[in-house]
Structures are given as C-alpha cells and as structure tokens.
Chain A
C-alpha cells in the first residue's frame, strides 16, 4: 500500500537503512588506510589523506597472521565437516530408519536446542582440561593440561549441532521411500543408500547448513578467547585481532586494528557473497525450530 502510493518513500527508507548498515564497514576500510595521528582527532574526517598500506604491514608485523589464519581454518573446517557428517547421518537415521527409541531420540535432539551456550562455558572448559590421557593427564584426567593443548579444543564443543540434525531430518523425510527401497532391493546397504542417494539429494541443504556453520565457527569469539588464554598457540583470528589493540602505539592503534579486521572478515565475506542464496535460505530455515 505504502509502496504503491509513495514509492519514493519506500526507496528513501530502504536506502537510508542500507547506508546505515554499510557506513560502519566503509569507516572500517577508510580508517585502515589512515596514517599516524589521522584517526581519532577532531574534527572527524571520513577519507584518509592517502591510501597507505602501512597499517596492513603493521598488522602482519604485530601478529603472526598466518598462524592465526591457520588455526581459524583448522577449527572451522573441523567444526563444519563434523557438523555436516553427524547431522546427515543422524538425520537419515531419524528420518528414514525404523528402530526402537526413535521418537525419544528425536525429542532429545530437539531439546538440546533449548540449552543456551553460556551454560556450558565452564563445564566444557573443565571437561577438556580433565580429558583423560590427553595433554599429560592420567586415566582420571589429572595432572596435565588435557585437550587444551590441542587445536581440537577450539572445535570440540561445536562438533555436533542439534539444529543441524533437525534440519537434515526434516529434509530427508520428504525423500520418497520407494527410491530408498529400490536401492535396498538392489542390494545396497544402509550406508550405501545414505551416501549414494540421500547425500546427493540433500546437497543444497548441506551447502546451507555448511555455510551457516562455517560463518558461526569462523566468527566464534568467546570460546576461542578462553581456549587461547589457556594456550596461546591455538589463538584464532578474532582473538588475535582483539589483542592488537594492546600492542601498538595509541596514535596508530585503531587504523592497525581496522586493517586486521578487514583481513579477518574478508574470507567469510567472499564466501557469503558467492553463496548468499544458500546462506539466506539457512537463516529462513532457522525459523523452523
């Protein structure tokens, strides 16, 4: 209605909103080029005096960016791979296999989504620390550092995702039983049925779930901060860049931090721009819960 009578008003609202959304990003990019003493001074100026790359170089000097990048990539890959695999397997079992206790397990999976993550920070940390036979621990989880010595600690609490299982199950239910039955009659085992028929048919959902998981894992901050505090060797990009604030002289802090931030959000931004159709569908699907 509004849009029909006052199309310009709609444009005004949408464009204003878009500008408000994008300006902080532009400010980040602009600031990342500002020279010493150019940022944080009055009066405020949006554009840098020159597009100077020295802040990017400084970010590399201050931080071991390749290592941070590697840690982020490994943790994200572990989480995404594991979530896809476990969600698909468990979703298939819950959707297409008949076995005692199925309804109970499905309800359990649903109920896992009710527990907020903050409830688990403390016990997850302690469980990883006291993980038996890891990091110098004895059989009873004492005496060593447990899994906190390993990069796996970054990924462990996120390896399985109740929403992922639920999502896969909902999509697999709609696969016709006849197709699966035909494969079984041809002598295919359940694993083969899953791999050859179910996985290909659910590829778009897998891409969606994978993308959602990837973005969350790449951007995860609190848990990574905690694990990196215990063991700085496994520090991820967001944690490292937050640390940048402390390391450089105050007149250049912000430009260098911004340069680090630009570098750290680039991978996920590119992936999002390439696959946004899938990502946006994922956000819609999360409304299914």
Chain B
C-alpha cells in the first residue's frame, strides 16, 4: 500500500495519470478489503486458489476429493477450488488476471497456452518439475503443455477423439459394425438417417453439430489428422489446412450435409443420448455424461477409432487436453508447484486395482469421471477389468494422436476455422471458398498474434 511497492515508473505520463486517479479515491474513502488469499498474518496458513472448469456434477466432486485430502494433511498450505463453466473459462482467466484477482493455480485448455504465455499469465515450470513432466507423460501431452520448448504445467485431462455409434440404430439399418473407412462411414450415415414429413430430422446418420467448438472443430480436425493432414504448420505461423487432406475432409462433410445424412442445426449433445444420432466423432470425456444421461440405453453405445480415408491408411486422430499451471502473479509459486506435484505426479495405491498397483491422484480422478490422463502406465492400471470397454479406443489413441496446436492466436484460429466449417455445412460457402477463406483468415490472425 505504500509508494515503495511501486516497482517502476516507465514514464512521467503514467505517474501523472495515477495521481489523477488517486485523488477521488481518497475522497470516496471506499472501505474495500484486499482480495488476497489468506490473512497474511504470520502463522496463518497460505491459501492457494485453483480455478478450473470442474464446475458441476461429478467432475467438481472428483477434484474436491483430493483437494480435501490435501487440506486435511497439510497445515501450512491450503487449497481452495473455484470453478466456472468451460465456455467462460478463458474469459475468466483473462478478466480476473486483468483485475488482479487471478487464481494461483490455473487449469487452462492447452489450446490457450500460447496466448496465456505470451500475455505473461503462466509461469514456466521449475526445472525439477519440467523434468518430472517430460518423463511421466506421453509425447502429445507434453507438447500440448509446452510453449516454445518450455514446459508450463502438469498435463491433466487428455482427450482423444474417436467415433461414437448407436449400435441399435446401426443394427436397425442392417449394418453390423462401426465403419472403418470413409466410404463405409458415408454409406452407414446415409442408411441410418431419417426425417419426418415436415423435414424435421428424426435421426442423423453422422452428427455434424454447430453446437460448440469441440463438435465442429474437434471432429473436423480428428478427420483431418486421420487423413494425414495438419491445421497449423510446424513453425506455427501459417495454416496448413488448404491441402489435399483438408480438401478431402471438407468434401466429405459437405457431401454428408447435402445428402441429408447430417443436420448441423441439431445439438448432438442432446440428440445422441436420445437416440437421434447414429454416429458422431467426439472426445472420451463424453462417455461419462452419456452413461449418466442414457441409463440403460448406454449399452447401445459403441466406440471405434476414427475412420481413415482408405483401408490401408495409418490411424491418426486429434488429442486435446488441459494442464495445471501456476500463475505468474501468484505470491506462492513454490507451494503451488509442490501441490501440483502431489496431485499429478505422486503415486498412491489404487484400491480397486491389483495389489500393489499405484497411480497418481490425478489419474484416479480422471478415470473416475470417465476421462483420461496422458500417463499411459496409470491408464493401463486403472482401466483394467470391469471398466467401461468404450474407453479402450481412446486409450489406444494416446499412442497415435496429434496434439491440437497451441500457438498464440490458436483460439482465434480455431474460431475462424469453426466459422468457415459452419459456413460450409450450411451451404454458404463452397469447399473451395471455405479452404481459401480459412487460409487467408487464419494466416492473418496467427501472424498478427506473434
């Protein structure tokens, strides 16, 4: 609160403005408490805040479990969780950081790491933690948690994309199993789609949904990777989607819509659980919510790897993920990293698995909500007998998945891609236009953000 806390005054203009600001606040004498965590009194515990999108339901409870365990066993450092919905998470990070109320520990979507690092929100992992991370996780997960070769956090939730299908709808259309190639995918989609006489979609063959990023961009990028393509170039400054692979994906989606096998206006998150979608490409986390939403009907749900263009093509898909990092503005980075190591790297006994089997608390947490981490060893331990067989394809995909690019401007690039995909699906753009416009817009955005 004293002027000595002012570290630097870059120029006179700034301090004059500050002076102008200070006068009325003295007049108003507003009695506002400092927002800072803990009481600051010696002897009182340090309170670390953790902001994630585990805002409701079982994810919230699953995170609270280990946090409570930590708080029960650690006198000096306490952790308090805060949560917002995923759609508000990035804005909340940015707004709270700007308002000086950023949490000590952040749980960003790895897509944003470039932006958050460039804005100075995230703190690089200290070397011992960085080593621990590089050692313990799969390549895609480490790459997603790194920016410019530096590691910024512990990968937590890792999502790979695979093909969900409603086996009942497939059976009713006389199809034995999930498609393995794109021609099979198209045929299955055509045969399962149904409409009523008003044109209302009763069943979508292949769920193309404009509902959110993960259903539009996620499934397009999964198909793109499966066709051997990439969204952003290796140096991260250009887009690479205007390629034969990109064209093949756009063509496929375009045909599905035009032929009536897909209805982009329908929200697949609602339609699939009610048995109105035969197939959709989505991430592994969905198994958990589907199980809860569908109850008995969940036995109809099957999962298969993302189909590849030709029978001989190598498998590939998209992986996305989250990580836990430490705020550059946190007053207690050492304590925060210590907590993160305890949560993400320390192995503890797993009750349900074979005797002596261990896994990290984070791995147990993720598996308990039907999700995964990038630790393949933990996943094999935890997804043993008795777990949902639908999770297997997602675990297998960890080995061949391609991480979502996380360059600065990646979120904007993703939004631009989404806009163009949606314009393609709704017939506003041809495949050519969509490819060209995406390239132009993403190139401008990504180059501007550097």
Residues of A at under 8 Å CB distance from B?
A: 40, 42, 125-127, 129-150, 152, 226, 229-232, 243, 246-247, 249-250
Give min CB distance, B41 to chain A, whole Å: 16
Partner of B32, one of A149, A226, A250: A149
Whether B197 sits at the interface, judged by CB under 8 Å, is no
A136-B36, A138-B6, A140-B6 given; A146·B100 CB < 8 A: yes
Known: A132-B26, A139-B1, A139-B2. 19 other contacts (CB 8 A): A42-B200, A130-B18, A133-B26, A134-B32, A135-B32, A135-B34, A138-B2, A139-B22, A140-B18, A141-B18, A144-B34, A145-B100, A147-B32, A149-B34, A152-B30, A229-B88, A229-B91, A230-B95, A230-B98
Q: Which of B1-56 contact A (CB under 8 A)?
A: 1-3, 5-6, 9, 15, 18, 21-22, 25-26, 30, 32-36, 55-56
B88 touches A136 (CB 8 A): no
Partner of B100, one of A42, A127, A144, A229: A144
Residues of B at under 8 Å CB distance from A?
A: 1-3, 5-6, 9, 15, 18, 21-22, 25-26, 30, 32-36, 55-56, 84-85, 87-88, 91-92, 95-96, 98-101, 200, 269-270, 293
Partner of B5, one of A126, A138, A148: A138
Residues of B within 8 A of A231 (CB): 35, 99, 101
A226 touches B21 (CB 8 A): no
Residues of B within 8 A of A140 (CB): 3, 6, 9, 15, 18, 22
A135-B100, A136-B100, A230-B96 given; A246·B85 CB < 8 A: yes
B55 touches A145 (CB 8 A): no
User: With the chains together, A127 CA to B17 CA distance in Å?
Assistant: 10
Give min CB distance, A218 to chain B, whole Å: 23
Residues of B within 8 A of A139 (CB): 1-3, 6, 18, 22
A150 touches B6 (CB 8 A): no
B101 touches A149 (CB 8 A): yes
28 contacts between A and B (CB under 8 A): A40-B270, A125-B98, A125-B99, A129-B98, A130-B21, A131-B21, A132-B21, A133-B25, A135-B33, A135-B100, A138-B1, A138-B3, A138-B5, A139-B3, A139-B18, A141-B18, A144-B35, A144-B100, A145-B34, A149-B33, A149-B101, A229-B92, A229-B96, A230-B98, A230-B101, A232-B84, A246-B85, A247-B55
Residues of A within 8 A of B98 (CB): 125-126, 129, 230
Give min CB distance, B173 to chain A, whole Å: 22
A134 touches B25 (CB 8 A): yes
Residues of A within 8 A of B87 (CB): 246
Q: Which 5 A-B pairs have the closest CB atoms?
A: A136-B34, A132-B22, A230-B99, A140-B18, A246-B85
User: With the chains together, A216 CA to B434 CA distance in Å?
Assistant: 42
Give min CB distance, B63 to chain A, whole Å: 16
A135 touches B35 (CB 8 A): yes
Residues of A within 8 A of B26 (CB): 132-133
Pick from B34, B98, B99 the residue with the most CB of A within 10 Å. Answer: B99
A145 touches B18 (CB 8 A): no
Whose C-beta in chain A lies nearest to the C-beta of B101? A145
Residues of A within 8 A of B2 (CB): 138-139
Residues of B within 8 A of A152 (CB): 30, 32
B85 touches A134 (CB 8 A): no
Residues of B within 8 A of A42 (CB): 200
User: With the chains together, A143 CA to B200 CA distance in Å?
Assistant: 56
Give min CB distance, A225 to chain B, whole Å: 9
Residues of A within 8 A of B91 (CB): 229
Give min CB distance, B231 to chain A, whole Å: 28
User: With the chains together, A248 CA to B104 CA distance in Å?
Assistant: 28
Give min CB distance, B140 to chain A, whole Å: 29
Residues of A within 8 A of B92 (CB): 229
A143 touches B3 (CB 8 A): no
A148 touches B55 (CB 8 A): no
Residues of B within 8 A of A137 (CB): 1, 100
Residues of A within 8 A of B36 (CB): 136, 144
Whose C-beta in chain A lies nearest to the C-beta of B269? A250
User: With the chains together, A86 CA to B217 CA distance in Å?
Assistant: 52
A142 touches B6 (CB 8 A): yes
Residues of B within 8 A of A133 (CB): 1, 22, 25-26
User: With the chains together, A124 CA to B55 CA distance in Å?
Assistant: 29
B5 touches A141 (CB 8 A): no
Give min CB distance, B4 to chain A, whole Å: 9
Residues of B within 8 A of A138 (CB): 1-3, 5-6
User: With the chains together, A250 CA to B98 CA distance in Å?
Assistant: 33
User: With the chains together, A205 CA to B339 CA distance in Å?
Assistant: 60
Residues of B within 8 A of A243 (CB): 85
B22 touches A150 (CB 8 A): no
B32 touches A150 (CB 8 A): yes
A127 touches B21 (CB 8 A): yes
Give min CB distance, B33 to chain A, whole Å: 7
Residues of B within 8 A of A229 (CB): 88, 91-92, 95-96
Whose C-beta in chain A lies nearest to the C-beta of B270? A250
Give min CB distance, A245 to chain B, whole Å: 9
Give min CB distance, B25 to chain A, whole Å: 5
Pick from B15, B96, B293 the residue with the most CB of A within 10 Å. Answer: B96
User: With the chains together, A129 CA to B98 CA distance in Å?
Assistant: 8
Whose C-beta in chain B lies nearest to the C-beta of A230? B99
Residues of A within 8 A of B33 (CB): 135, 149
Residues of B within 8 A of A132 (CB): 18, 21-22, 25-26
Give min CB distance, A153 to chain B, whole Å: 9
Pick from B2, B3, B34, B270 the residue with the most CB of A within 10 Å. Answer: B34
A139-B3, A140-B6 given; A145·B35 CB < 8 A: yes
Residues of A within 8 A of B35 (CB): 135-136, 144-145, 149, 231
Residues of B within 8 A of A249 (CB): 293
Give min CB distance, A82 to chain B, whole Å: 12
Residues of B within 8 A of A40 (CB): 270
User: With the chains together, A287 CA to B3 CA distance in Å?
Assistant: 49
Give min CB distance, A23 to chain B, whole Å: 21
Give min CB distance, B13 to chain A, whole Å: 13
User: With the chains together, A136 CA to B5 CA distance in Å?
Assistant: 11
Residues of A within 8 A of B5 (CB): 138, 142-143
